Amino acid sequence: MPADVPTVSVDSLPAGALLLDVREPDEWAAGRIAGALHIPMTELPRRMTEEPAPLAPDTDIVVVCKVGGRSAQVTAWLCRQGYSAANLSGGMLAWEHAGHAMEADGGATPRVV
């Protein structure tokens, strides 16, 4: 995990930040933060070339995965591309542990997988 990546905790998310979930589709389906944008880590470089791009450089982005490793890599990449991005410390596990709301596909009980 890159050491010099901007990081925020679940209790200090910037107001109005876009949450970018970079987990795999099965992880997303099982439990996610309502309103987050889902782009799996491996698809992000390709998706950023689409018009319109899914992320704007002037948007505050908080990147999330299960524990923070993948999201730290994506955050570092986004920062190198000129985006304002921060890694969510502890990822979805920290979000769940803090008791924050989640949703899941099909009305299932949300869980972090």
What residues does each domain of the chain span? 7-102
Strand bridging mode 18-21 / 84-88: unpaired
Q: Is the pLDDT of residue 6 over 90?
A: yes
Confidence of residue 2 (pLDDT cuts 50, 70, 90): low
CATH code for the domain defined by 7-102? 3.40.250.10
Statement: the pTM of the whole predicted model exceeds 0.75: yes
Of residues 4 and 36, more confidence is placed in 36
- Residue 86 near residue 61, CB atoms below 8 Å: yes
Residue-wise pLDDT tens digits, 35-67? 999 999 999 999 999 988 889 989 999 999 999
82 contact partners, CB below 8 Å, separation of at least 6: 57
**Active site amino acids:** 65
